[in-house]
Chains A and B, each alone.
Chain A
């Protein structure tokens, strides 16, 4: 009788395996980005032209498709950070982020609209900070609400967040009595557009700041280890002293903070809010970013860089499609869906396994042929 322990023969050394995995995960989003660049260069050689010209406010700013794309991707990138963590720890996704962005934006406006028109710069800054902190607090609480449903009541994330998905925009409208708000103070629009004298859009700086913050958080805490462990095996994590419920809750709170930042940028872009339209469908793009990044939507291991690149791919795709005059703006979603399906299939485990298997078979055949030659 043979031993009933299956034996595994390491085919590659660990370093090679690790490299392969790392390359695999970053490979697809980067390749997709690359393909989009090539496509755009072929159809329109001037696509990536960046010029320095005065905008409507009279500032000299960078403009061009590339800048637009990077600017508009900001919210998505910031959301992708939180969504990746939630996915890792809870094995599910938060579909309420669009609606909670409406809540966050509405909260900011609730404070900002009370200002007197000619308030001094110092007072204005104080008010902005106050409104931002309140918006972070509110969003984090809504995140905690979602997280509590998922962690303590063990409701599937998508179902748990369906509540705020449905109710969020109404709550946002209620915060401001469903008023049409328009902020006339130009200074408020700096955060979503340009600060006078600076040629790069402000959201780009905010995004970079967010990425630096999360990088530091991952460096100085065990968030990565804990959320991965909880996502892979909650039972085992608990027996190692981790509190899986708190970790799940924490990731939802972090996503809540990301939502707050997005909401703030969104309302600053237009200095107004349309409760039913703001950040519409952004949750789906955020989930897509995580998936395109090659992260397992079932939780566990994650690669944040990959998600961030995924977010840029999606925004790049949208911008590219908008470029085509022949495509009616109402049918853009359908084109986007078609491309996304393609990308998702290419990066799916099934296709990856297919190519890996083929490679393995080829190598096995080669080894066999070699062995045959040696024995002959």
Chain B
């Protein structure tokens, strides 16, 4: 039942969380001496699969074979003993210890340790792997790339057969990435199987042999890298078949917008500190546009820079043609900009507060610390928007955290609509909510535009963007790589632009 040369096989893996099927019948095969990319958008199940494999979560179904033998992985420690090593995005080593100490910590026997020998061994292994660092160097003094490599060296020394690299490159620069890739190729030559999780398409095509794509907790397929052009990969990740996609008519009224007038908001060379390149952006009255790109492409970082959510270090900003400075969210709010954040739980809701408090929060803050709304006024606002957006809540006093995801999102929407902005930024307003609410939100966006408001709409689902936006800014790896409008607004063109390179 095993594939030839497979060191790891996972068959029919299932994992359920309350109300969510995180993994459903997922198969995964890793062969000896291959680098295997695990791809998928957020929530596709990549990290759940890794966590099942490393014993963090117990699996609810399916089987795992290691080198042809069925195994049961009980804990992360157990996984390590069985030769499955993991290097996480964030370094999990101790920066205050030396390189050698980090490599051997927890693996020495008895109370006495021959550190001279260990340092010697460590140096030999580091040399062998071509990692340019001395065993006695304190880890905290090394670059992030070196720290990653030390973590890998530790794994290699533990005789790992399967090495999992979970987004190891996200904090590395180009040169450091190359060093890491060289190390990965060396290990591959030694017969180690490597699972590589990343959001960077270029890196996948540079170093990987095979790709397994997951979507919505299900296996989309396993492909040899040569057989899967980038555009195909993007379409598989997003769940759109590239060839037979029906072009959905762009529903926005692009014709009615005066694109030659003064933009409601305009940024020139806006420079943030969150790893995006400086960019220009403008939006006109009544326009709906969007930022698109894969996760981590910088689309959220861009809108956060517009709202002043992250520190902005350069560029000019004009609101209604007048130069303004937006340093913090409150500045943006005062200029009539609203921002519905991508991460509803972390940045959106104030969980323990009531639905009412959550609705009035932004307007209340704009009104000022010394001018609280009367209870009656707050109740009136809440009532109005609960009805307007059809929010399903037991009462205004219900804590927002006990609402369903879609209704929580509507409360946040209500909050920003109540603030009556002229420019509304919606970052993934439809993520993780039911289909009915998704449609409601899209309709609302178009209605707001018809009323003369400007909206920037971000969604991972391209057809949502096509339905609502009249212009799309496409981003890849922190850069704006294209702007699409009119007839170019179709799935094929968008995906080709997202994928870039030879499409």
> Which residues on A are within 8 Å of B, measured CB to CB?
1-8, 10, 12-15, 17-18, 219-223, 225-226, 228-229, 232-233, 235-243, 300-301
Which residues of A lie under 8 Å from residue B433 when comparing CB positions? 5
- Expressed in whole angstroms, the Cα–Cα distance for A301 and B400 within the complex equals 13
B39 interface contact, C-beta 8 A: no
20 A-B contacts, Cβ less than 8 Å apart? A1-B216, A4-B21, A4-B432, A6-B20, A6-B405, A10-B402, A14-B396, A18-B397, A221-B372, A222-B372, A225-B353, A228-B357, A229-B357, A232-B351, A236-B346, A236-B348, A240-B329, A241-B329, A242-B365, A243-B328
User: Which residue in A8, A13, A223, A225 is a CB contact (below 8 Å) of B402?
Assistant: A8
B111 interface contact, C-beta 8 A: no
A2 touches B21 (CB 8 A): yes
Which residues of A lie under 8 Å from residue B434 when comparing CB positions? 3, 5
B220 interface contact, C-beta 8 A: no
A240 touches B365 (CB 8 A): yes
B362 interface contact, C-beta 8 A: yes
- Expressed in whole angstroms, the Cα–Cα distance for A7 and B434 within the complex equals 10
CB distance from B461 to the nearest CB of A (A): 15
B404 touches A235 (CB 8 A): no
B404 touches A10 (CB 8 A): no
- Expressed in whole angstroms, the Cα–Cα distance for A364 and B294 within the complex equals 46
Residue in B361, B370, B405 with the greatest tally of chain A CB atoms within 10 Å: B361
- Expressed in whole angstroms, the Cα–Cα distance for A7 and B402 within the complex equals 9
B106 interface contact, C-beta 8 A: no
B357 touches A4 (CB 8 A): no
CB distance from B344 to the nearest CB of A (A): 9
B309 interface contact, C-beta 8 A: yes
- Expressed in whole angstroms, the Cα–Cα distance for A32 and B368 within the complex equals 39
B349 interface contact, C-beta 8 A: yes
Query: 19 other contacts beyond A1-B24, A15-B395, A236-B348, with CB at 8 A cut-off?
Result: A4-B20, A4-B21, A5-B19, A5-B406, A5-B433, A6-B19, A10-B398, A13-B395, A219-B372, A221-B369, A221-B370, A225-B353, A226-B369, A228-B357, A229-B350, A229-B361, A236-B347, A238-B328, A242-B365
B393 interface contact, C-beta 8 A: yes
A236 touches B370 (CB 8 A): no
User: Which residue in B330, B398, B404 is a CB contact (below 8 Å) of A6?
Assistant: B404
A225 touches B346 (CB 8 A): no
B19 touches A7 (CB 8 A): yes
B357 touches A225 (CB 8 A): yes
B178 interface contact, C-beta 8 A: no
- Expressed in whole angstroms, the Cα–Cα distance for A238 and B308 within the complex equals 10
- Expressed in whole angstroms, the Cα–Cα distance for A234 and B369 within the complex equals 17
B110 interface contact, C-beta 8 A: no
In chain A, what residue has the closest Cβ to B392? A10
- Expressed in whole angstroms, the Cα–Cα distance for A229 and B366 within the complex equals 15
A1 touches B21 (CB 8 A): yes
- Expressed in whole angstroms, the Cα–Cα distance for A7 and B307 within the complex equals 32
B18 touches A6 (CB 8 A): yes
Would you call the interface of chain B mostly helix, strand, loop, or mixed? loop
Which residues of A lie under 8 Å from residue B371 when comparing CB positions? 222
B202 interface contact, C-beta 8 A: no
Give the contacts of B304-350 with A (CB-CB under 8 A).
Answer: 307, 309, 328-330, 333, 339, 341, 346-350
In chain B, what residue has the closest Cβ to A224? B372
- Expressed in whole angstroms, the Cα–Cα distance for A236 and B329 within the complex equals 11
CB distance from B141 to the nearest CB of A (A): 23
User: Which residue in A18, A229, A240 is a CB contact (below 8 Å) of B395?
Assistant: A18
- Expressed in whole angstroms, the Cα–Cα distance for A222 and B368 within the complex equals 8
- Expressed in whole angstroms, the Cα–Cα distance for A4 and B369 within the complex equals 39
B450 interface contact, C-beta 8 A: no
Which residues of B lie under 8 Å from residue A238 when comparing CB positions? 309, 328-329
In chain B, what residue has the closest Cβ to A1? B21
In chain B, what residue has the closest Cβ to A6? B19
Interface string of B369-383 (1 = CB under 8 A from A): 111100000000000
B346 touches A235 (CB 8 A): yes
B484 interface contact, C-beta 8 A: no
CB distance from A198 to the nearest CB of B (A): 35
User: Which residue in A3, A220, A300 is a CB contact (below 8 Å) of B372?
Assistant: A220
Contact A220-B370, Cβ < 8 Å, known A6-B19, A6-B404, A239-B339: yes
Give the contacts of B19-40 with A (CB-CB under 8 A).
Answer: 19-21, 24
User: Which residue in B347, B395, B405 is a CB contact (below 8 Å) of A14?
Assistant: B395
- Expressed in whole angstroms, the Cα–Cα distance for A236 and B351 within the complex equals 10
Which residues of B lie under 8 Å from residue A6 when comparing CB positions? 18-20, 404-405
Which residues of A lie under 8 Å from residue B442 when comparing CB positions? none
A222 touches B369 (CB 8 A): yes
CB distance from B240 to the nearest CB of A (A): 18
Interface string of B86-105 (1 = CB under 8 A from A): 00000000000000000000
- Expressed in whole angstroms, the Cα–Cα distance for A2 and B435 within the complex equals 12
B112 interface contact, C-beta 8 A: no
Which residues of B lie under 8 Å from residue A4 when comparing CB positions? 19-21, 216-217, 432
In chain B, what residue has the closest Cβ to A246? B369
Which residues of A lie under 8 Å from residue B397 when comparing CB positions? 14-15, 17-18
A225 touches B352 (CB 8 A): no
Which residues of B lie under 8 Å from residue A18 when comparing CB positions? 395, 397
B398 touches A5 (CB 8 A): no
B364 touches A222 (CB 8 A): yes
In chain A, what residue has the closest Cβ to B334? A241
- Expressed in whole angstroms, the Cα–Cα distance for A226 and B370 within the complex equals 11
In chain B, what residue has the closest Cβ to A234? B350
Which residues of B lie under 8 Å from residue A14 when comparing CB positions? 393-398
A5 touches B330 (CB 8 A): no
In chain A, what residue has the closest Cβ to B433? A5
B20 touches A239 (CB 8 A): no
B254 interface contact, C-beta 8 A: no
List 10 A-B pairs, minimum CB-CB distance, nearest first: A14-B395, A6-B19, A241-B330, A10-B394, A14-B394, A241-B365, A18-B397, A4-B20, A233-B350, A14-B398
